[in-house]
């Protein structure tokens, strides 16, 4: 029997915690042996033999255990190394090693399977797939980055210290998650915009036919797209569907609203439909009450923009608009004007003072409307101030203000906006005219400090809107804000002092400018308003004199027109120079002029503004919705009259952005 080799013992056996108890046992055995010899030598001899046998067995078993343990460890190490090699080759994770030149040095079979390539050794990563290479080159080290490659979803991790990357195919999990998103609930509100106006003039039979037609159209549309709808009123439906069905409807651009409008128009009662849809965000709990409330807000937004369109938005996502291709129909009743006039009168009487404010770089409509509201406040014995920034006046507005300040009754109440900051109290009423977007009001500080806000505007409502206004009067069918405010005068007290000549002139000037001498966006009520203002002493000769342009502006407009580029055979695009600023009025006049040219259905004038930003003035004859185009670029306005301002970049950058939007809207057949 070989002597026990302690060096072959594992470290944990040669540890003191094992050696000390072993020595104690040996010591006890030795003491027992000595005592046995002392008591009886025969007993001692027997114990010596027994102890020798035990020691021999221990040595033999130790040698055996050491050999077996070493053999087991050796086999286990081999199996671990073999498993590592097999795992690298067979496990469902793609592994690739690359060099400093992004060339593939080694890849396991699963990596090749993902990219459906057998021979990739020596190839550059970008030759395998360009999108994959971009993700790899930009991915932070040791962080998972998600990537969609054709019909696969991948998670990629790069270890740059050892120049290795790992790819996990998460397609199945992505599909499960997508299925979960597709089945999330969507609520919708459907409203027949002008059902009351149309049905009240129809006979009972035709009204019944119209009602059946609309119900059948919406029911067939709902059945085709697996949408549950329920009629809750004569002109209102409630809809329930899921995200997958909503995505399909969005891809089809909600064709139902065009179908209903076109068929009813051929029958001489053009009915339009507005819809609002909402759903919970991806990572949020589905609170049905919140979803339904946002859907109602989306419907209100669609109606505020003139109807005949669909608004889709969740709580945090960007609003998406569909439809809105037609001018809203003019209402036949003045009931709302009377109600708004009475509500505004009550708010004025309950306030201690009124501040009226338009948008930045005001036009004739903005100033005229502000003067009109100031007069209404005065008719109700309240002090009202018009907040302005004189350094933002264009030439025609400066000419107008020179005439206005000649009136000693009005001049003291036209004040620089900064002087009004300290005059605002909790009971101050702020009236916004010709604007509803907080980002472009004359003075945002006044808006922030005011607790009571009234909005009177004729532009289609955008997503940006003041918080909790006490009164909103937005009528996109109106030609101008001046038209809306003129109607409010008709319901004021007859005992109040009437509107002055210069105020009537300013308001009428705004209507003339916004309608291009009553040629665009003009309805019967527009002429009624103009007639009323004329009876109040509006001076059309003075308006023409105020709107005259100097020779320099005329030549600049001609210079801009010389850069005309006709895009898509019907869109006129004009660009100015980056080195020369152009007055916003000149840009707007240039856009208007382009519409008089043959084959130009919409015009876009891109110039450098005096404040350094890039401005785009957009106009159309009505068939093309320039408001939607400008909204894509951060602006807004009316269906046939819109604009935007871009903070950074050059004129050519703005032109490229505009063309990208035009391509997206028209080449994708979103509008025809």
Cα 644 from Cα 628, distance rounded (Å): 11
- For residue 227, count other CB atoms closer than 10 A to its CB: 20
The whole-number pLDDT of residue 47 equals 81
The whole-number pLDDT of residue 327 equals 57
Of 264-268, 499-503, 535-539, 623-627, minimum mean pLDDT range: 264-268
Q: The tokens of 492 are what?
A: 């004021």
The whole-number pLDDT of residue 445 equals 92
Provide the pLDDT confidence category of residue 337 given band limits of 50, 70 and 90.
Answer: confident
Residue percentage of the chain with pLDDT more than 90? 27
307: nearest Cα among 316, 315, 295, 299: 299
DSSP state of 4: P
The whole-number pLDDT of residue 547 equals 82
Cα 444 from Cα 611, distance rounded (Å): 17
The whole-number pLDDT of residue 2 equals 45
431: nearest Cα among 387, 493, 480, 497: 387
pLDDT tens profile 207-254 = 888 888 889 999 999 999 999 999 998 889 999 999 999 999 998 889
Q: The tokens of 593 are what?
A: 């002029």
The whole-number pLDDT of residue 468 equals 83
Q: Are 125 and 134 in contact (CB under 8 A)?
A: no
Cα 228 from Cα 238, distance rounded (Å): 8
**Stretch 62-77: mean pLDDT, rounded?**
73
Q: Tell me: pLDDT of 572 over 80.
A: yes
Determine how β-strand 320-323 pairs with β-strand 236-242: unpaired
The whole-number pLDDT of residue 484 equals 92
Cα 388 from Cα 402, distance rounded (Å): 14
Cα 648 from Cα 632, distance rounded (Å): 16
**Stretch 154-160: mean pLDDT, rounded?**
84
Q: Are 637 and 459 in contact (CB under 8 A)?
A: yes
Determine how β-strand 164-169 pairs with β-strand 152-159: antiparallel
Q: Tell me: pLDDT of 277 over 90.
A: yes
Domains of the chain (ranges, CATH numbers): 6-87 (no CATH), 94-174 (3.30.450.20), 183-323 (3.30.70.270), 335-546 (3.90.1640.10), 551-667 (3.10.310.30)
Provide the pLDDT confidence category of residue 11 given band limits of 50, 70 and 90.
Answer: low
- Its pTM stands at 0.61
pLDDT tens profile 394-406 = 888 888 999 998 8
DSSP state of 182: H
- For residue 244, count other CB atoms closer than 10 A to its CB: 16
Q: The tokens of 76 are what?
A: 């286990």
The whole-number pLDDT of residue 7 equals 53
214: nearest Cα among 253, 255, 267, 264: 264
Q: Tell me: pLDDT of 414 over 80.
A: yes
Of 109-118, 240-249, 525-534, minimum mean pLDDT range: 109-118
The whole-number pLDDT of residue 506 equals 93
Provide the pLDDT confidence category of residue 41 given band limits of 50, 70 and 90.
Answer: confident
Provide the pLDDT confidence category of residue 496 given band limits of 50, 70 and 90.
Answer: low
Q: The tokens of 86 are what?
A: 């097999």
Q: Are 154 and 114 in contact (CB under 8 A)?
A: yes
The whole-number pLDDT of residue 284 equals 77
* Mean pLDDT of the chain, nearest integer: 83
Give the number of C-alpha atoms closer than 13 A to the C-alpha of residue 440, restricted to the C-beta side: 22
pLDDT tens profile 190-205 = 999 888 878 877 788 8
**Stretch 72-87: mean pLDDT, rounded?**
67
Q: Give the Å distances, CA to CA, from 289 to 228, 284, 293.
A: 18, 13, 6
């Amino acid at each position: 029997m070989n002597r026990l080799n302690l060096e072959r013992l594992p470290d944990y056996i040669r540890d003191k915690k094992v050696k000390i108890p072993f020595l104690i046992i040996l010591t006890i055995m030795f003491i027992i042996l000595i005592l046995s010899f002392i008591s009886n030598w025969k007993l001692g001899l027997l114990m010596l033999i027994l102890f020798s046998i035990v020691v021999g067995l221990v040595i033999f078993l130790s040698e055996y255990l050491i050999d077996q343990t070493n053999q087991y460890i050796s086999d286990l190490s081999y199996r671990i190394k073999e498993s590592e090699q097999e795992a690298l080759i067979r496990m469902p994770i793609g592994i690739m090693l690359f060099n400093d030149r992004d060339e593939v040095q080694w890849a396991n079979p699963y990596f090749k399977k993902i990219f459906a390539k057998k021979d990739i050794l020596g190839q550059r990563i970008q030759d395998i797939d360009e999108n994959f290479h971009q993700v790899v080159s930009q991915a932070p080290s040791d962080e998972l980055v998600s990537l969609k490659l054709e019909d696969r979803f991948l998670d990629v991790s790069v270890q740059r210290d050892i120049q290795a990357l790992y790819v996990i195919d998460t397609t199945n999990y992505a599909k499960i998650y997508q299925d979960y998103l597709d089945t999330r609930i969507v609520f919708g509100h459907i409203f027949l915009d002008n059902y009351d106006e149309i049905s009240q003039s129809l006979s009972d039979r035709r009204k019944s036919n119209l009602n059946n037609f609309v119900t059948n159209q919406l029911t067939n549309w709902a059945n085709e797209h697996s949408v549950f709808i329920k009629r809750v009123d004569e002109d209102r439906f409630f809809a329930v569907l899921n995200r997958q069905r909503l995505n399909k409807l969005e891809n089809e651009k909600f064709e139902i609203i065009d179908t209903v409008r076109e068929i009813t128009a051929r029958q001489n009662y053009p009915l339009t439909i507005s819809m609002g849809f909402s759903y919970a965000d991806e990572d949020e709990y589905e609170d049905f009450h919140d979803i339904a409330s946002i859907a109602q807000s989306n419907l209100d937004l669609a109606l505020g923009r003139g109807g005949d369109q669909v608004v889709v938005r969740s709580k945090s996502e960007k609003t998406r608009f569909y439809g809105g291709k037609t001018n809203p129909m003019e209402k036949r009743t003045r009931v709302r004007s009377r109600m708004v006039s009475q509500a505004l009168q009550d708010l004025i009487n309950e306030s201690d003072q009124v501040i009226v404010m338009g948008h930045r770089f005001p036009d004739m409509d903005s100033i005229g409307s502000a003067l009109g509201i100031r007069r209404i406040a005065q008719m109700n014995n309240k002090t009202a101030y018009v907040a302005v920034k004189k350094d933002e006046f264009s030439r025609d507005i400066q000419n107008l203000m020179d005439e206005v300040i000649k009136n000693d009754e009005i001049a003291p109440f036209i004040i620089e906006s900064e002087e009004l900051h300290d005059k605002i109290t909790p009971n101050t009423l702020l009236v916004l005219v010709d604007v509803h977007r907080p980002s472009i009001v004359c003075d945002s500080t006044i808006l922030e400090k005011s607790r009571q806000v009234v909005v009177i505007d004729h532009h289609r409502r955008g997503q940006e809107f003041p918080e909790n206004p006490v009164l909103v009067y937005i009528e996109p069918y109106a030609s101008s804000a001046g038209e809306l405010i003129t109607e409010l005068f008709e319901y004021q007290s007859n005992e109040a002092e009437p509107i002055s000549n210069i105020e009537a002139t300013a308001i009428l000037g705004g209507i003339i400018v916004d309608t291009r001498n009553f040629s665009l966006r003009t309805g019967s009520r527009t002429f009624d308003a103009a007639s009323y203002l004329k009876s109040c002493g509006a001076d059309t000769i003075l308006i023409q004199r105020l709107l005259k342009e100097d020779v320099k502006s005329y030549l600049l407009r001609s210079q801009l027109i010389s850069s005309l580029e006709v895009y898509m055979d019907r869109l006129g695009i004009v660009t100015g120079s980056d080195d020369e600023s152009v007055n916003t009025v000149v840009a707007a006049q240039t856009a208007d002029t382009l519409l008089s040219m043959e084959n130009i259905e919409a015009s876009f004038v891109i110039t450098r503004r005096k404040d350094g930003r890039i401005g785009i003035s957009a106009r159309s004859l009505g068939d093309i919705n320039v408001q939607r185009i400008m909204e894509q670029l951060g602006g807004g306005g009316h269906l046939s009259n819109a604009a935007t301002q871009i903070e950074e970049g050059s004129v050519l950058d703005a032109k490229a952005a505009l063309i990208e939007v035009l391509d997206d809207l028209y080449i994708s057949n979103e509008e025809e």
